[in-house]
Structure 1
Amino acid sequence: MSRRRWAAGAVVAALLATAFAAAPAQAHRGDGPRVVGYFTQWGIYGRDFVVNDLVRSGAAARLTHLNYAFGFLDAQGRCVSADPWADWQKPFPADRSVSGEADQPGQPLAGNLNQLRQLKQRYPKLRVLISLGGWTGSKHFSDAALTAESRREHVRSCIDLWIKGNLPGAAPGAAAGVFDGIDLDWEWPGSEAAPGNVVRPEDKRNFTLLVQEYRKQLGSRPDLTAFLPANPAMVERGFEVRPVFEELTFATIQGYDYHGTWEAVTNQQSALRVPAPDFSGQVAIGAYLDRGAPRNKLVLGVPFYSQGWTGVTGGGDGLHQPASGPAPGTWAPGNEDYKALAAKVDQFTVHRDHRAGHAWLFDGTTFWTWDDPVEMRRKARFITDRRLGGAMVWSLDGDTADGDLIKALHHGLRR
């Protein structure tokens, strides 16, 4: 699953030990670029991607922050779980557990949250955040941010549920200590994004006030981050950049979904440099720098998935050509995990635009955007050359079992 449009295997113990030993020791220090990855709550179902897969692939050893997506808001603007079974009820067997021990009936905490707790015990410098909202969970953010009272109650409910760990039906504080902060993924203040989202002209000011209320109630130690759009018009319409960044630990900036199959012509989804008014990493980062955001708080998003079209006509290398519709995807039309395309990349020709900073696959009929290890290293150079705050991954379940993308990205950022 991607943030659509503009919103929007076991391994033997000896191999695990080798992977951990090979991971750079500085991966969790605060003295280098951040490597932020989103773990999707629903990935444990169809994709069968569990927290322990981050250990097996080596991803966990290379992350500084892990964002757990997503917590939702109810119609009253209070924080709720989108899936209690996945979050804290589902038992994991020994071979799927970070600890190597099976969950037992009656234990205080199970589910993904217990696995995240075990992950933090194994990697004590890893910061884990609950991400709130997302494409399908942002409907009531405007209501939550509307008044001083609604903001106080919203933040209080989120801290109680996710930071203090007071889960419905569980012992008080059962999940305390799992999360080290909160990631706000309101898509988007002042812009509808998903159909049906509540939008108000005053969202821009109210987002600032909401962030300030979060910082007030959280205090200075927990992380407070936000996922922010790439579209400069949306930045102008929805965000008071300077005061917002004064409260945030850092922000992750949309570095993908610049184009996709909601359009009838093939295009890049994550280019670093293309001329404005088209979208690119350079345009997105520039929109925040121009409005006073500190470079070291800007974390550029990178995709571990592709956008794809089929029925492409016009010849050539397939770029900027008309298409009949979305290419078939495993989980959604026009969308495919990197690992699925990597398994059949020999069926395509790989094209790269080194100047614009993006790549794509084309077989004469089907076109896929292509963010492979080469492009991850290119994005890492872009980030380090501009002294930005790091990279963010949407989402970790798109990588190969060996962590090819996260390893390339991490290595590039640490050079």
Structure 2
Amino acid sequence: MRFTLFSLGALLFAAVQARSVIYADEWHPTHPKTMARRGAIDHVIVAFAMANNTATFQPKVPITDLRSEFPNAKIMIAVGGWGDTIGFSQAAKSNAGIQKLAADIKTMIDNNKVDGVDIDWEYPGGNGADYKETPNSAKTDEVAAFPKVLAAIRKAIGPEKLLSIAVPGKKVDMIAYTEETGPKIWPSVDYINLMAYDLMNRRDTKTAHHTSVQGAKEVVKNYLAIGAPPSKMNLGFAFYAKYFQVASSGASSSALGVPIVQAEDPITGKDTLTSGAWTFEPAHMNTVSSSQFTFSYDGTCGPSNGTKCSSGCCSNAGYCGVSPEHCGGGCWHAFGTGCTDPDVAGSWQLAAANGVADTVAGGQYYLDRANGLFWTWDTPAFITQKFEQIVRKYKLGGAMAWSLGEDSADWSHIKKISEELNRGPGSGSGSGYDVCDDDYDGEDAGYDDGACGCVDGVSGC
């Protein structure tokens, strides 16, 4: 029996429970009420503290409440998030700024008595929400500064506290993640949270999956290629569907590769409100009739509030008004008058009932030709495939999801992730580590995939 270090690593990993990391954000505050529904969650990341005001951050949900809900979980705080780049960019300009940010993060951790911090800088080096206002050419110094920021944070918080990073899924956004910077980044962090979703976003021009099995696999391989340790990686899952208005669908027999209406202003970079995310919350998943609701007296509306607007539009966020933001971008057609966009809520009911499973790419989609909307999302069945074909295959450390309250209709995605984590490595049809798989580029990842040892319980030999 030939026994290699690679095979030994697979066996050792099989004895370790994989991680289940989930973000808990303030915009979707519903949490599972029972331990059974919380499943295997063992890390909760509170989102978000502002990067330029970190030291004084106090979460809206008290940390003591989260510890009561998740008594066996590590509680962390995320700093940054989409659109919050200025604090990071300013800090990265000088060593003094880096040291202050690190010290402020330590203060935040100490004040809130949490177990660590997640750095969600989207993205060092450019391509963030402000990329039209501040071009990437003005952010080149951030690439070299990013590892220094992480090293300073690690030194400030010490080895006993957790440090994770949320990293981009699209290769074009991996500006600060290269063969040169990777080896300087990985030693500072405990976890690498792979945002293997939003792989189609408003900067794209044609319909595609936003979080398919194939797409997620490419994300993992891109990070393995620059030396990211698999054991530190958590594969990201999205608890929402995405929709895009299509420019025309009548001439196309396929739902994929169809041109979309311009979803981002080419000058300002702002959202044109022709695309969006649709979370798996009760208000989005359950069919409702506005006839059962009364008129609003406080300006709130929609299925979550139980009221409709006497005049004007009911925005996706649940407020009455007449602005473009109220009347577009997922406006609730049944709860007001004047919506200018397609009926997103009604279209989703069609998509959920008639979605098509792409068994090649591994993603769910639907093209609503009547309303001119394309939908793309993940399902429990494809979550299983991601564990079989990615998490177990590449020996990843666990799973990450955005976000907790967005799965509150039935908690089915959390349940499926927990089931897969509890099954462990090497269980189930098609699962396990195929150390001789040609699809696994061991050379890029620093492994010798030609040295295939045969050990009982390890497949592929």
Deviation at 1:229, TM superposition (A): 1.3
Of residues 95, 100, 109, the one that matches 1:163 is 109
Contact 1:181 1:222 in 2 (8 A): yes
What SS is found at the alignment partner of 2:144? helix
Distance (whole Å) between structure 1 residues aligned to residue 245 and residue 274 of structure 2: 14
Greater RCO, CA 8 A, separation 6+? 2
Counterpart amino acid of 1:40?
A: D
Say if 1:55 and 1:61, in contact at 8 Å, map to a contact too. Answer: no
Alignment of 1:270-289 (within 5 A): 270-273=211-214, 280-289=215-224
1:81 deviation in Å? 5.8
Give yes or no for the alignment of 1:343 onto 2:343: no
Single out whichever of 184-193 and 331-340 deviates more from structure 2: 331-340
Partners of 1:250 and 1:342 lie apart in 2 by 32
Residue 205 of structure 1: SS of its match in structure 2? helix
Residues 263-302 of structure 1, C-alpha deviation per residue, up to 9 Å, x if partnerless?
A: 34221101221xxxxxx21221112111111111111111
Query: Could you tell me the TM-score, scaled by structure 1's length?
Result: 0.72
Q: Compared with structure 1, are the counterparts of its residues 332 and 341 closer, same or farther at alpha carbon in structure 2 (3 Å cutoff)? A: farther
Q: Does 1:394 find its partner at 2:414?
A: no
Encode CA deviations 1:38-85: one digit per residue, 9 max, x unaligned: 111233xxxxx24xx2334845342111111111122xxx52567x6x
User: 1:163-206 CA deviation, whole Å, 9 max, x = no partner?
Assistant: 121xxxxxxxxx3x2x2100001111111411146852221221
Q: Aligned to 1:321, which of 258, 281, 296?
A: 258
Q: Does residue 245 of structure 2 align to residue 310 of structure 1? A: yes
Does 1:213 pair with 2:216? no
- Matched position secondary structure for 2:102: helix
State whether structure 2 residue 48 is matched by structure 1 residue 70. yes
Shift of 1:399: 0.7
Aligned partners of 2:255 and 2:367 also within 8 Å: yes
Distance 1:234 1:324, change over 3 A: closer
1-structure distance, mates of 2:70, 2:401: 19
- Secondary structure of the equivalent of 2:151? helix
Residues in 1 aligned to 2:212 and 2:118: alpha-carbon distance in whole angstroms: 25
Amino acid of the structure 2 residue aligned with 1:320: G
Question: Contact conserved, 1:295 with 1:388, CA < 8 A, in 2?
Answer: yes
Aligned to 2:50, what secondary structure does the other structure show?
Answer: strand
In the aligned structure 2, how far is the partner of 1:321 from the partner of 1:148? 47
Q: Which residue of 2 aligns with 1:258?
A: 199
> Equivalent residue for 1:376?
383
Per the alignment, residue 19 of structure 1 pairs with: none
| 8 Å contact from structure 2 (residues 51, 87) kept in 1 | yes
2:50 aligned partner, one-letter code: F
Report SS of the residue matched to 1:269: coil
Q: Which residue of 2 aligns with 1:291?
A: 226
Alignment partners' CA distance in 2, 1:137 and 1:302: 22
Judge conservation of contact 2:105–2:153 (CA < 8 Å) in 1: no
Q: Any conservation in 2 of the 1:338–1:371 contact (CA below 8 Å)?
A: no
**Cα 1:193–1:301, aligned 2, differ >3 Å: closer, same or farther?**
same
Out of 91, 94, 108, the position equivalent to 1:147 is 94
- Whose radius of gyration is greater, 1 or 2? 2
Q: Would you say the 8 A contact 2:124–2:175 is kept in 1? A: no
| 1:31 counterpart residue number | 16
2:69 and 2:128 map into 1 onto residues whose CA distance is: 38
The answer on whether the counterparts of 1:182 and 1:225 sit within 8 Å (CA) in structure 2 is: yes
Q: Distance in 2 between matches of 1:38 and 1:197?
A: 28
Q: Pick closer, same or farther for the CA change 1:129–1:301 going to 2, 3 Å.
A: same
Q: Counterpart in 2 of 1:227?
A: 166
Partner letter of residue 55 of structure 1?
K
Alpha carbons of structure 1 residues 213 and 358: separation in structure 2 relative to 1, 3 Å: same
In structure 2, C-alpha distance between the alignment counterparts of 1:342 and 1:131, rounded to whole Å:
28
CA contact (8 A) 1:309 1:325 kept: no
State how far apart, in whole Å, the 1-side matches of 2:233 and 2:376 are: 24
Please, what TM-score do these two structures have when normalized by structure 2?
0.65
Distance 1:230 1:371 in 2: 15
Is 1:203 equivalent to 2:139 in the alignment? no
Is the alpha carbon distance of 1:370 and 1:211 closer, same or farther for their aligned partners in structure 2, counting shifts above 3 Å? same
Query: 1:152 offset after TM fit, Å?
Result: 1.3
SS in 1 for 2:123: coil
> Does the aligned pair in 2 maintain the 1:56–1:401 contact within 8 Å?
no
- Structure-1 separation of matches of 2:274 and 2:109: 33
Identity of aligned residues (%): 23
Please state whether the residue corresponding to 1:359 is helix, strand or coil.
strand
Q: Is the Cα–Cα contact under 8 Å of residues 78 and 120 in structure 2 kept in the other structure? A: yes
1:154 is matched by which residue type in structure 2? L
**What secondary structure does 2:66 align onto?**
helix
Aligned residues of 2:39 and 2:415 also touching (Cα < 8 A):
no
Change (3 A) 1:81 1:317: farther
Distance (whole Å) between structure 1 residues aligned to residue 25 and residue 284 of structure 2? 20
Q: For the Cα contact (< 8 Å) 2:285–2:409, is it kept in 1?
A: no
Aligned mates of 1:153, 1:123 — CA distance in 2: 32
Offset from partner CA, 1:291-343 (integer Å, 9 cap, x none): 111111111111111111235513435222234467xxxx9942211345543
Aligned position for 2:33: 55
